[in-house]
Amino acid sequence: MEERLQKFMARCGVASRRHCEQLIADGQVKVNGRVVTEPGTRIRPGKDVVVVNGRLLRQPKKKVYYMLYKPRGYLSAVADPAGRKLVTDLLPDVKQRIYPVGRLDYDSEGLLLLTNDGALTRALTHPSSKVSKTYRVRVQGIPSWRSLEQLAQGIELADGLTAPATVGLIDVLNGNALLEITIHEGRNRQVRRMCEAIGHPVLRLKRIRFGPLNLGKMKAGEFRELKNHEIRALLAAARLL
């Protein structure tokens, strides 16, 4: 079955379709040894030889997408020299080699996406993506309204001012507040550092939403494959559609 060249390139993880179109127009793509400059050129994946900047593209393996409720005490990685438990240990029957998209701290829990779709991973984790992530955060003490406004407007951290966030006070239990915080950045331990900056360290942190995905009623350690409409929504959020 034939396929448009830029779509095949995007499936192989070269870049977004729009960027692939530009690579074709710039003369950086060869099909069967011939430079092709016309986006929309149709090829036969698996039969035609496509080379981008000297790199031979191979027919990608089946892409899979899983949503996991990461428990606390697991590392968002596929290997660890210290021998700590890994999120991939929770998906032992998945045959494909999958990778977590972004990170959740070792002591954090909640929604984690795992996939072998390299293009989607790069798009979702790139600073320009601005895909929203929502967290339920139990903090020590009860922040003042002024402190919550600071979180929402932007907090000065060691690596610069944070972007505006959506912040709400959900509940108070035993003198500690439960906050819901939505951010559009992906800095290391960002939510924890934001809360520390206003003098209310995090006691427990759970991610409940990632872009169009919602953790729902999943329990710690559970995982499932994404549905087709969820995959399309993710691709749209990453501007890959």
pTM: 0.77
Q: What percent of the chain has pLDDT over 90?
A: 73
What pLDDT is stored for residue 215 in this prediction?
A: 96
The stretch 130-136 carries a mean pLDDT of 94
What pLDDT is stored for residue 12 in this prediction?
A: 81
Question: Does domain 3-56 sit in CATH 3.10.290.10?
Answer: yes
- For the chain, give every domain's residue range: 3-56, 65-127+213-237, 133-210
CATH match for 65-127+213-237 among 3.40.1170.20, 1.10.760.10, 3.30.70.580, 2.40.70.10: 3.30.70.580
Task: State pLDDT tens for residues 6-47.
Answer: 988 887 878 878 889 999 999 999 999 999 999 889 999 888
Quick one: pLDDT band at residue 192, thresholds 50, 70, 90? very high
CATH match for 133-210 among 3.30.70.1560, 1.10.10.10, 3.40.720.10, 3.50.40.10: 3.30.70.1560
Task: State pLDDT tens for residues 43-83.
Answer: 998 889 999 999 999 877 788 999 999 999 999 998 899 99
Are both 65-127+213-237 and 133-210 of the same fold? yes
**Cβ-Cβ contacts under 8 Å for 92 (sequence gap 6 or more):** none
Q: Which residues of 170-194 are buried (b: 16+ CB within 10 A; e: fewer)?
A: eeeeeeebbbbbbbeebbeebbbbb
- Asked whether the beta carbons of 55 and 211 are under 8 A apart, the reply is no
**Residues recognised as catalytic:** 105
